Amino acid sequence: MKVLIVDDSKAIFLMVSQMLEESGHTGVWAEDGQKAFEYLSGNNDIDVILLDWNMPNMNGPEFLEKNLTESFTETPVIMMTTENKPANIKKALSLGAVEYIMKPFTNDILNGKFELVDGLA
């Protein structure tokens, strides 16, 4: 499985990529929502998107809103963030995220979320 990791932190990308590799998956990095949109515009090889909330240029909710209005990808989006307010979780899900994962998380939690998203694990 190929996962687009959308997060402005290279450290988070490296950590999540290592988790993915340990489970036999591959991670690709986009530093913000705009870079993710650009990647997805030219590639259709992503199985799931892990999307951070707080990023420069285009944050997670802005990415979800753009996808909601323009339908540029049908790839399942899992929010991965430190934002834990119920209103934020509700907003992300209402904008099209299929799951929500809190940072920091373990490989077991990540794989559990993948299993919930159409048996991706």
Residue 78's CATH number: 3.40.50.2300
Mean pLDDT computed over every residue of the chain: 93
Q: Is residue 62 part of a domain?
A: yes
- Specify the pTM: 0.94
- Per-residue pLDDT at 119: 61
Integer Cα distance of 24 and 119 in angstroms: 15
- Per-residue pLDDT at 120: 59
Helix axis angle for 33-42 and 60-70, nearest 10°, is 40
Q: Is residue 121 part of a domain?
A: no
Q: Tell me: the pLDDT tens digits for 65-106?
A: 999 999 889 999 999 999 889 999 999 999 999 999 999 999
Strand 48-51, strand 99-102: pairing: unpaired
Residue identified by tokens 């949109």 is 37
Q: Is residue 96 part of a domain?
A: yes
Number of domains comprising the chain: 1
Q: Is residue 16 part of a domain?
A: yes
- Per-residue pLDDT at 83: 87
80: containing domain = 2-116
| Mean pLDDT value of segment 97-121 | 87
Kindly write down the DSSP assignment for every residue of 45-59, as one continuous string.
--SEEEE-SS-SSS-
Q: Is residue 101 part of a domain?
A: yes
How many alpha carbons lie under 13 Å from residue 103 in its C-beta half-sphere?
Answer: 18
